[in-house]
Every structure is written in structure tokens, then in C-alpha cells.
Amino acid sequence: MTRRALMLAVSVLLVLPVVLLALLSVSRHWSWPVLLPHAWQWTQWRELLAGQADLCAVLLRSLGISVSVGLLATGLAFPTSRAVARHRQRGRLLALSHIPFALSPVVLGVALLYGFMQLGLAGHIIGVVAAQLIFAYAYAVILLSGFWNERVHALAALAGTLHANRWQVWRHVLFPVARPMLGVCFFQTFLVSWFDYALVLLIGGGQVTTLTMRLYGYFGSGDLRLAATCALLLLLPPLVALVVHHRLPATAVAVHFEVSRE
């Protein structure tokens, strides 16, 4: 009974902010201590759907940046993590991978800004992707390094003796075995980019607007209803991804366990 009550309380705590945002995005007048809004309006959503608030374009841009960062970070980190796992100085290399976290996005952004300005990447969407990629790549290398155990190396070696060349080992063995883990990695690095504010602000320099930046802008201007609408949009892709991959962590663990067990 206590457990059920606790589960209910946790569920309510998790869902309540989303419900609050949804109500706020369609309310016109809502004052304390009334439980529900006095009056409703759909102006924010109409503006959004009509493209007047430019939110759709910002949403698509944000998606483009985050999907690119997720794909590139995961794609690059997979072979890197294998090289790190097989390296004699594995521990030292993994420690180096933590440097971007130690710096934090703000300090990393300041450090990168000068170089990116020289390269013409500041104020450009490619610059934002590149800056976020440095952070996400390091994160992905750390995450994926846990995949490479003795069994996975043995599977790769075995495939080699069964006529698979280096590319075929990657394509037919390593990628399929790692797929659930790669899915988790993509999702995590997507989120790193999706909720980033500091790097977009510093490297984008106001030229590149993402949904997170727009959200801060609405809060700054005091338009809470549009901010709530924007916040809901910000939540949408991660929620969809969570629903689609709600079994992914379990699958990843299962496959990893199976590979370890065999």
C-alpha cells in the first residue's frame, strides 16, 4: 500500500509540471488560488500553427542541430571507444575524455569562441553543432567504452577467422550487437544538445536560435503563456523518443548480458 502510494506520488510529481504547462499554454486568465483557468484561449497554438511565432522553424532547426550532434557523436564515438578500450593507456584516455565535463559548457564555449571566430564558425549553425559535438562526443566515448568487454572482442576475432574482413566485422557483428547501446547513446547525446543553452548563446551569438533560447527569450519578455507553449514543444521530442524507446534500456542490458554470458 505504501509502495503504491509512493509510486502515485512520484507519478503525480513527474506529470504535474507537464499538465501545468499544458493548461498555461491554453489559458487566458488564471489567478491564484483557483484550480483551473477562468478563461481559455488558443492564440499561442494558433500563432504557432500559422507560423506567426516562427516556432515551427525554430523547432525544425533545433531538431536538425540535435539529430546531427546525436548521430555524429554516436558514430564517431563508437570506433573511438573501441580504440580506447584496446589501448594500453585506457584509464588515462578515459580520464582525458572527462575534460569537457570538468570545463562545463559555459567555460568550453568561451574557450572555443575565439578559435571559432577565426574560423568563421561563430554565429553559424555549423559552429554550434561543432561546439556541442565536442561535449557530446566525449560523453558518448565514456558511455560506449562500457560496451567493449572480452566477449565482444572475442566475437569480433571469431568473425575475422570466419572470412569477415574488417568492414564486415563492423557491419555484421559489432554494429548489430551494439545497436541497443548505440540507440541509448544517440538519445543521450541528442538530449545533451537539445537542452543546451550556453554553447548556442556563446557560439551562435544570437545568429542561431534554438528552442531553448527562444524559451528563455519568452520568459525574459514576461510572456508566460507563449513560454509554456514553447516549453511543451521542447518536451515533445524527448517524450516521443522515450515512448518509442521505452524498452530500450532493458533491451540494451539484456543484449549486453547475453554477450557477457555466452
Partner 1 sequence: MNDLVNSALHVEGLSVELGGARILDDISFGVDPGTTLAIIGASGCGKTTLLKTLAGLIEPISGRIRLGAAQVEHVPPHRRGIVYLNQEPLLFPHLDVFENVAFGLRMQHLPEAQVRARVTHMLVQLELDGLEQRSPHALSGGQRQRAAFGRALIIEPALLLLDEPFSSLDPATRRAMQALFRRIASGLNSTALFVTHDLRETLTMGDQVAMMRAGRLHTYADREAFCLDPATGVMREATFWQDLAVGATRDARHDTDTAGS
Q: Considering beta carbons, is residue 71 or 158 the nearer one to partner 1?
A: 158
Q: How many CB atoms lie within 10 A of CB 167?
A: 8
**Residue 257 beta carbon to partner 1: minimum distance, rounded to whole angstroms:** 10
Q: Distance between CA 47 and CA 58 in Å, rounded?
A: 14
**Residue 159 beta carbon to partner 1: minimum distance, rounded to whole angstroms:** 7
**Matching residue, cell 570538468:** 102
Q: Considering beta carbons, is residue 4 or 163 the nearer one to partner 1?
A: 163
**Residue 256 beta carbon to partner 1: minimum distance, rounded to whole angstroms:** 10
Q: Which of 44, 39, 199, 48 is nearest to 113 (CA)?
A: 199
Q: Considering beta carbons, is residue 124 or 151 the nearer one to partner 1?
A: 151
Q: Distance between CA 150 and CA 98 in Å, rounded?
A: 24
Q: Considering beta carbons, is residue 61 or 245 the nearer one to partner 1?
A: 245
User: Under the phi-then-psi rule, with left for phi > 0, alpha for psi from -120 to 50, and beta for the rest, what region is 208?
Assistant: beta
H or E stretch covering 27: strand 27-29
Q: Distance between CA 255 and CA 260 in Å, rounded?
A: 8
Binding site for partner 1 (CB under 8 A): 151, 154-155, 157-166, 168, 172-173, 176-177, 179, 255, 258-259, 261-262
**Residue 73 beta carbon to partner 1: minimum distance, rounded to whole angstroms:** 23
**Residue 229 beta carbon to partner 1: minimum distance, rounded to whole angstroms:** 43
Q: Considering beta carbons, is residue 52 or 89 the nearer one to partner 1?
A: 89
Q: Mapping DSSP to helix (H, G, I), strand (E, B) and coil, where does residue 39 land?
A: strand
Q: Considering beta carbons, is residue 206 or 262 the nearer one to partner 1?
A: 262
Amino acid (one-letter) located at 117: M
Q: Which of 125, 231, 234, 143 is nearest to 181 (CA)?
A: 143
**Residue 78 beta carbon to partner 1: minimum distance, rounded to whole angstroms:** 16
